[in-house]
Amino acid sequence: MQQKNVPLTTADTQLLQQLETLNPQAVNSLKNIYRKMICSGYLVKMELTPDQLLRYIFDDGQSIVVCPLLPPQQVQEEPSHSLIAEGLSYQPVVLEIISHPHKPDLLLAARYDNYPAQLQHQTILTANLSRLRKETGLVALVFAVELCALLITVYTGSFNTSIILMGWAPPLSIAGIGLIMMMKKYRSSLKKAIHQTIVSGIVTERFSDGRLSWYRIGELLFESGDGTLAVPGQPLQVVFTTDSRGSQGAVFHTTKDSSRF
């Protein structure tokens, strides 16, 4: 196992500030208290310790004990005694860890190199956004037709300055301005739209406390009330939506067709 110290990122700092079990005043001196490590190696197995922490055992005999960070990014001061953890064995893995002198090391992410996640981002078209897209397309079509007619006129030798100024310039200008305004309106509405992200991949780790379950796909960990969706090694697809305020909701879909991943 190899260990490398790296600086805390802005996202790490924000995450530490959100954790209820960490003293907000201590976060102000992060460089002196918290230390981030990247641990990589060939994982033999992951197991639970008697005090309900995770132990990652590597092929060189070294091991590291960490406390898992389970969404919604909460760490219990007293680990649940009903926690169940299982993961893939004999795999190259990279762990992102934040250590604290008075607390168990915190596992930010676990990446299994052989099983990356596949992400697809889509925009959910509401009725209003769909109508706006059609109207923008219609204006663009009118502008394109007028522009083509103008080019044909020039190409056929019927070019006349007065004809251009009186016949083609006004409608072409109106269509062009309208197209610009419609595109700006569409882009503005697009930013406020609901976006959908589809995450597909092989489950590499699963945790359960008897009430909720968490599934890791790639570096991402998803929460579900269903503990029977998949076990490590099986494919899983997660679809979640994000609105303009950044709030998320998750819907899980399972599939037995592993060839999709």
Q: Is the dihedral of CA 214, 242, 127, 237 positive or negative?
A: negative
pLDDT of residue 64: 94
- Is 182 in contact with 143 (CB distance < 8 Å)? no
Alpha helices in 19-112 (DSSP H): 24-27, 30-33
pLDDT of residue 107: 92
Helix, strand or coil for residue 255? Answer: coil
Residues of the chain predicted below pLDDT 50: 76-77, 257, 261
pLDDT of residue 77: 46
pLDDT of residue 58: 97
**Residue 66 contacts by C-beta under 8 Å, 6 or more apart in sequence?**
53, 54, 56, 95, 97, 104, 105, 106, 107
Question: CA 43, CA 177: separation in Å to the nearest integer?
Answer: 61
- Is 248 in contact with 240 (CB distance < 8 Å)? yes
pLDDT of residue 164: 56
Instruction: State pLDDT tens for residues 79-107.
Output: 555 889 999 999 999 999 998 776 788 99
Phi, psi of 70 (to 5 degrees): -105, 130
- Is 202 in contact with 217 (CB distance < 8 Å)? yes
pLDDT of residue 217: 94
Question: CA 95, CA 113: separation in Å to the nearest integer?
Answer: 11
pLDDT of residue 41: 96
pLDDT of residue 235: 93
